[in-house]
Chain A
């Protein structure tokens, strides 16, 4: 019985450590996400349609990375990329859609 309990506890510990390792973001993960976000935001800038919230998310990502919190840094970088992509989609669709609002 004691042997079985020890095995169960050991297995649970191994699983817990493995799960922890799988969730923790590395600096490399953050850098990849940050580069993608910056690139998308640059494209939004080329379209003259950047959003203030994208810049705020990029700044938050950088700050989190500086404190070594790569989970938060990755999350903020991914948010920045999603916002930048939304601003690109807006600028692209508005190229034609603005005409719907025009008073004629």
Chain B
């Protein structure tokens, strides 16, 4: 039965990565019309990563749950908007998803696999949305690699040296919309955190934009491969996944930077790798 947990969690991670990739080539999220994701945003993000766990720990449970709900609502809205177009349909889809998550949490309990199934699906959509918002807002491969490097160090401190991550998971795991992709096979739940999944999903996108399709595909294979190996190890407690993913991202970035040179901008990426609309014929060049 442990295999089932493994299959569900790894399958969920693969779904997020593939979903993010497919979304990236098909839909445009409503990014802010002015501004590009830059190093200052990265610094701010790092600050949030450091502070938000403490915030969640000190906030009353109802407020923490409210914040999770608000965040999920906004992310799911901008994720579904370019897919469904109509505002009413988008709101309907988002409300249905959140109702299902809250409903299963209250009716079946937050430790039930019924809840995990719904929550994992919602989490995959959230990851697809956030990773695309970052990548489509001009996040560079350099920024993602730097974030990965920082998280590799942070994860060691917060997860291995301090009880921060395990306390946080314990605190949030009892809430609907918990930021953990997990499955319980009866002998304890197996899971992977939202942050790890986000980095694993966004990196192939920014690599594809910066260095081309091959770079993206390799990243898309390496990340679930690494996660699969880690999940298969007989580890006890919480393991800092970014300790493996972070250096992997850094090495890939350095390789492609050396091999391909300067990163492409989004504009250059679209020039060289135009989006193919549904029903549009490939040019001989593209087909070749």
- B and A form one assembly: no
Chain A residues proximal to chain B, CB less than 8 Å: none
